Amino acid sequence: MPILGAIADDVTGATDLAAMLVNAGARTVQLLGVPPADAESPDADAVVVSLKSRTAPVAWAVTDSLASLDRLLGWDARTIYFKVCSTFDSTDRGNIGPVADALREALGTRLVPVCPAFPANGRTVYQGHLFVGTALLNESGMENHPLTPMRDANLVRVLGRQTRERVGLVPFATVERGVEAVRAALAALENDSVAYAILDSVSDAQLATLGEAIADYRLMVGGSGLALGLPAAWRRRGWLSARGDAARLPHVPGRAAILAGSCSRTTLAQVAQARACFASFALDPLAHPDADALAAAAIDWSDRQAAEPTLLIYASASPERVAEVQAVLGRDRAGEIIEQAFATIAEALVARGVRRLIVAGGETSGAVVSRLGLARLVIGPTIDPGVPWTFAPERDLLLALKSGNFGTTDFFTKALTMLEARP
């Protein structure tokens, strides 16, 4: 029976939370999409369901979240965690408020702690105001986000516009005074009929305080940071054993492949570094402006590399080259052709015995995971912040899904070396 059942509003956010929990000692499984009604309870301390509900229509986000809640409650999850972005990505219409309201009502709870702080990544909350680094949220660039422009840094107000319930604050000074002070402040807010308490937090030490103070609440809303102190609190309550390595994955022998579909600056540097180490092949969407033909060229090439332990296949290209491709194929069509080609390539490589797969790019990862039909990822050790190795039991496959901007320049070699170093 999982201690924590989380509902995450996007896939990479779910992985981020799952990695946080594993690093704090909780065995964690990530489920992709709403679990089917007859799905068995995963054998883990924490289960993170990843949805695609951050910018979905409100009704859809609520429906998927409630269906996920139903599964998590069916598995007797003790604590429900609604995972949102650490920049609180939402609009006045939702989706954080409406989803939280629906979960709160379904659970019949009164006060819900809310905190997106993630100090290690520069997200702090002070007097209810969210900062990104040294800038207020609404001066951090997030005010220009194409889908969820954040034009107000005051989370009491932001959440207040998304719910009819009352929103209050547990300020910095209270959090500094420690666990009992936070508990008393939460109890006072609850007595005052406040439904949501924004929690200030500017450091990991404060997150540890919050973890202990809120561990008995039935529902909480946070970024991945709010989970930092929870496993320690569970251990103190005897819910989580002090068992060894939560990040242990099975040893899976086999060839490795790297598929890079991100054109971010970070990924371009990572691809350049990896090209010097591994046999590599560049997809040419202008020569093959069709997903099947584009994939076939790469698969033909890979069939001629039987002696190579690791293959690198990439579409990653400079902004100039991407603009050229988009001018001919159109932006969306180019993206779709390349994503589908990568999905086909991944399927072919796994069929040919690749058992260690690294995918760079959020959308690219989504296409690959859905083509491979994966429903479940067991979370393993972190390669770089936010990117763990995972194990997909359905395919007996080790998988690392990296969003474009994550990881150091030597990410690909580092990730593979990490596996070699394991027993």
Q: What is the contact surface with ligand ADP in residues (CB under 6 A)?
A: 261-264, 285, 315-317, 321-322, 325-326, 334-335, 338-339, 361-364, 403-404
CB of 261 to ligand ADP, least distance (A): 4
Please give the distance of CA 365 from its chain centroid, rounded to a whole number: 12
Interacting residues of 231 by C-beta distance below 8 A, sequence separation 6+: 21, 24, 25, 26, 45, 240
CB of 314 to ligand ADP, least distance (A): 8
Six token digits for residue 6:
């989380």
C-beta of 325 vs 379, nearer to ligand ADP: 325
Contact 297, 283 (CB under 8 A): yes
CB atoms within 10 A of CB 36: 11
CB of 337 to ligand ADP, least distance (A): 7
CB of 295 to ligand ADP, least distance (A): 12
Contact 111, 212 (CB under 8 A): no
CB of 217 to ligand ADP, least distance (A): 34
Contact 368, 261 (CB under 8 A): no
Closest CA to 162 of 102, 106, 117: 102
C-beta of 239 vs 342, nearer to ligand ADP: 342
Contact 236, 212 (CB under 8 A): yes
C-beta of 34 vs 315, nearer to ligand ADP: 315
CB of 301 to ligand ADP, least distance (A): 17
C-beta of 139 vs 284, nearer to ligand ADP: 284
CA distance 41 to 64: 18
Residue of minimal Cβ distance to ligand ADP: 404
Closest CA to 246 of 23, 77, 72: 23
- 10-11-13-15 Cα dihedral, nearest 10 degrees: 160
What is the amino acid identity at position 267? T
C-beta of 8 vs 185, nearer to ligand ADP: 8
C-beta of 53 vs 162, nearer to ligand ADP: 53
CB of 249 to ligand ADP, least distance (A): 24
CA distance 321 to 275: 18
C-beta of 109 vs 326, nearer to ligand ADP: 326
CB of 225 to ligand ADP, least distance (A): 21
CB of 361 to ligand ADP, least distance (A): 2
Interacting residues of 255 by C-beta distance below 8 A, sequence separation 6+: 308, 309, 310, 311, 349, 352, 353, 354, 355, 356
C-beta of 42 vs 285, nearer to ligand ADP: 285
CA distance 36 to 340: 25
C-beta of 148 vs 326, nearer to ligand ADP: 326
